[in-house]
Structure 1
């Protein structure tokens, strides 16, 4: 990925720098989520963000660095929103099942285009170790989030819940079927009750 100018304009305040960073990451995230990484050039990022290429390259040395920052910020936001949602339930079992309620809401969003991390991994594969590391970090963090909700007493249950959630995410992204979250939720409910985790509708 290309490099650019690395000098930072001294006149910018810390607040202006933060605003510019936010504009850049917002623009890049919306573009690559809708179109993919390789289809989005730096000129398009410049156009949508309203920032000059000189300003962009003063914040990030390469396009790859911008993508990493986008994924890192998206991960923090995504998992925080999930945490806030599930913490609205007092019952431990309902907290776990709430994961699928939250996913259902996400899948139903008009802008839903599947999992950003899976999409980018599918597009870039191992060609970008830095991006691959962010993808793996996000998936591991999500898995640990689920393990914490199951109180880590039954690791095989946590793994099964994680796989049900990931399967629902992939299926919803490919098939455009938000209701798959409800199928996965019922399977998780049976699993938590000690029954077979069939995903039959």
Structure 2
């Protein structure tokens, strides 16, 4: 099925924003890479900020869907018999992304840094994404019947975000394994 010009624009813009940043990426570059006219952009989006919001909504959906699919796949392939297998599958999924060619850090951490006003709609979408990931983690660990699953999900989320930032800023992609080990220790302590 052919991609609509609007979808093409959003996908191209998302790739550029991830690689080059939101403020550093100009509309002309997006239009050139998407091979669409300026009129097409403004037919669908009244401003660059509106386009940014659309890219963040797409990335939120992609990330969350991929995370759940990867955890399910990894549980079936590797971890179904392990008591904390879902935690390992969660960290394996994040590790696959961090070690992949399309890793440019977390789009939402980057967006919140570039749009630091807590009331900015871009910042608010970044915040909502982080909350949705925490909720996914909560849903994944709840069946483990650990103490304080909400608090534990917050801790695991913090460990993942820390590992992502370390991988982005220092290039140390083994940071995810340090975070995994800390999460396993936390989960064992919450048994």
TM-score of the superposed pair, with normalisation by structure 2: 0.87
Q: Which moved more, 1:74-83 or 1:184-193?
A: 184-193
Q: How many residues align?
A: 180
Aligned position for 1:48: 33
CA contact (8 A) 1:97 1:188 kept: no
Deviations 1:52-75 (A, max 9, x none): 000111011111010000000111
Q: Are 2:141 and 1:156 equivalent residues in the alignment?
A: no
> Is 1:28 the equivalent of 2:19?
no
1:75-86 → structure 2 map (5 Å cutoff): 75-86=60-71
User: Which of 97, 102, 114 in structure 2 is aligned with 1:106?
Assistant: 97
Rounded to whole Å, the distance in 1 between the matches of 2:155 and 2:26 is 39
Equivalent of residue 142 in structure 1, options 126, 133, 154: 133
Give the SS at the match of 2:115.
helix
Distance 1:37 1:92 in 2: 41
User: Which region of structure 1 is more displaced relative to structure 2, 18-27 or 123-132?
Assistant: 123-132
- Calculate the TM-score normalised by the size of structure 1: 0.83
Say which of 121, 124, 130 aligns to 2:112.
121
Cα shift readout 1:45-102 (whole Å, capped 9, x = no counterpart): 1111100000111011111010000000111010111101112313562112211111
Q: CA RMSD for the aligned pairs?
A: 1.9
2:22 to 12, 19, 37: 37
Indicate the SS of the match to 1:125: coil
Work out the CA distance in 2 between the residues paired with 1:96 and 1:109: 20
1:185 to 2:176 alignment: no
Shift of 1:117: 0.8
Structure 2 SS opposite 1:150: helix
Q: Within 2, Cα distance between the matches of 1:176 and 1:156?
A: 29
Structure with a larger share of its residues in helix = 2
Partner of 1:10: none
**Residues 118 and 124 in structure 2, CA contact (< 8 A), matched pair in contact too:** no
